[in-house]
Homo-oligomer: A and B are copies of this chain.
Amino acid sequence: MTQNNSSPALKIIPLGGLHEIGKNTCVFEINDEIILLDAGLAFPTDGMHGVNIVLPDMTYLRENRHKIKGMIVTHGHEDHIGGIAFHLKQFEIPIIYGPRLAMALLKDKLSEAGVTKRTELRTVGPRETVRLGKSFFVEFIRNTHSMADSFTVAIRTPVGVVIHTGDFKVDHTPVDGEYFDFQRLAEYGEKGVQCLISDSTNSELPGSTPSERAVFPNLDRIFAQAKGRLLVTTFASSVHRINMILELAKKNGRVVSVVGRSMLNLIAHARTLGYIKCEESLFQPLQVLQKLSDEHVLILTTGSQGEPMSAMTRIANGEHRQVKVREGDTVVFSANPIPGNTIAVVNTIDKLMMKGAKVIYGKEHGIHVSGHGCQEDQKLMLGLTRPKFFLPVHGEHRMLVKHSQTAQSVGVPAENMVIIDNGDVVELTATSMRIAGKVPSGIELVDTSRSGVVNSKVLKERQQLAGDGIVTVAAAIGWTGALIAKPQIHLSGVVTSLERSKLQASIETAIGTILRDRWNEFARPVGKDAQLEIDWVGLQTQIEREIQRTLRRDLQSNPMLVFLMQNPEEPSVREVSRERRTPAIAS
* A contact residues vs B (CB 8 Å cutoff): 19, 45-46, 49-50, 204, 339-340, 342-343, 346, 349-351, 353-354, 359, 362, 396-398, 401, 447, 450-454, 458-459, 461-463, 465-470, 472-476, 484-490, 492-497, 555-558, 560, 562, 564-569, 574, 585
Contacts and interface: CB of A to CB of B under 8 A. Distances in A.
A585 B569 contact: yes
A462 B451 contact: no
Nearest to A560: B492
A574 B572 CA distance: 12
Given A50-B466, A353-B401, A492 B447 contact: no
B339 A49 contact: no
Contact of A340 (B342, B451, B497, B565): B342
B564 A45 contact: no
Contact of A492 (B353, B484, B562): B562
Contact of A485 (B19, B350, B469, B568): B568
B562 A495 contact: no
Given A349-B398, A401-B353, A495-B447, A467 B566 contact: no
Contacts of A342: 339-340, 342
A461 B359 CA distance: 35
B450 A556 contact: yes
Contact of A451 (B453, B474, B496, B585): B496
How would you classify the secondary structure of chain A's contact residues: helix, strand, loop or mixed? Answer: mixed
A349 to B, nearest CB: 6
B462 A346 contact: no
Given A461-B492, A462-B466, A569-B585, 15 more contacts: A49-B466, A50-B468, A340-B342, A351-B397, A354-B397, A450-B558, A451-B555, A453-B495, A458-B495, A463-B466, A465-B466, A476-B476, A476-B484, A484-B566, A485-B569
A587 to B, nearest CB: 14
Contacts of A346: 339, 396, 398
22 contacts: A49-B493, A339-B346, A350-B397, A351-B397, A451-B495, A451-B555, A453-B495, A454-B495, A462-B467, A462-B493, A465-B466, A470-B470, A470-B492, A472-B472, A472-B562, A474-B476, A474-B488, A474-B566, A476-B485, A484-B484, A484-B566, A485-B568
Most B C-beta atoms less than 10 A away, residue of A362, A463, A467, A490: A467
Contact of A396 (B350, B359, B398, B496): B350
Contact of A465 (B465, B496, B556): B465
Contact of A450 (B349, B397, B557, B565): B557
Contacts of A465: 462, 465-466, 469-470, 492-493
Contacts of A343: 45-46, 339-340
